[in-house]
Amino acid sequence: MAFVVAVAQQKGGAGKSTVAANLAAALAASGGRVALLDTDPQHSLTRWHAERQKQAGRAAPLHFAAPSGWRLSGALDQLRREQDFVILDTPPHADTDAKLAIRGADLVLMPLQPSAADLWASEATMKLAADEKRRLAALLNRVPAQGRLRQEIAGRLKAANVPLLTPVLGNRTGFAQAFQEGLAVTEAQPRSAAAEEVRALEAAIRAMAAGKG
Ligand X SMILES: Nc1ncnc2c1ncn2[C@@H]1O[C@H](COP(=O)(O)OP(=O)(O)O)[C@@H](O)[C@H]1O
The partner in contact with residue 171, picked from Mg ion, ligand X, none with C-beta cut-offs of 5 to 8 angstroms by kind, is: ligand X
* Site pattern 21..60 for Mg ion (x: CB under 5 A): -----------------------x----------------
How far apart are CB 212 and ligand X at their closest, in Å? 26
Interacting partner of 179 out of Mg ion, ligand X, none (Cβ under 5 to 8 A depending on kind) = ligand X
Q: 194 with 172: CB under 8 angstroms?
A: yes
**Dmax (CA) of the chain:** 46
Q: Does 17 bind Mg ion (CB under 5 A)?
A: yes
3-state SS assignment for residue 34? strand
Give dist(CA 19, CA 111) in Å, integer.
8
Binding site for ligand X (CB under 6 A): 9, 12-18, 44, 92, 141-142, 169, 171-172, 175-176, 179
116 contact, one of Mg ion, ligand X, none, CB 5-8 Å limit per kind: none
CA distance 28 to 86: 11
> Strands, E, within the chain: which ranges?
3-7, 34-38, 63-65, 85-89, 107-112, 135-140
Give the nearer residue to ligand X in terms of CB position, either 44 or 115: 44
Contacts of 181 (CB under 8 A, 6+ apart): 51, 55, 188
Q: How many residues does the chain have?
A: 213
Least Å from the CB of residue 9 to Mg ion: 9
| Residue 64 interacts with, from Mg ion, ligand X, none (CB under 5-8 Å by kind) | none
- Closest contact distance (angstroms) between CB of 98 and Mg ion is 11
Nearer to ligand X, 84 or 203 (CB): 203
Do 114 and 140 touch, CB atoms closer than 8 A?
A: yes
The entry of ligand X, Mg ion, none near residue 151 (CB within 5 to 8 angstroms by kind) is none
Which spans of this chain sit near Mg ion (rule: CB under 5 A)? 16-17, 44
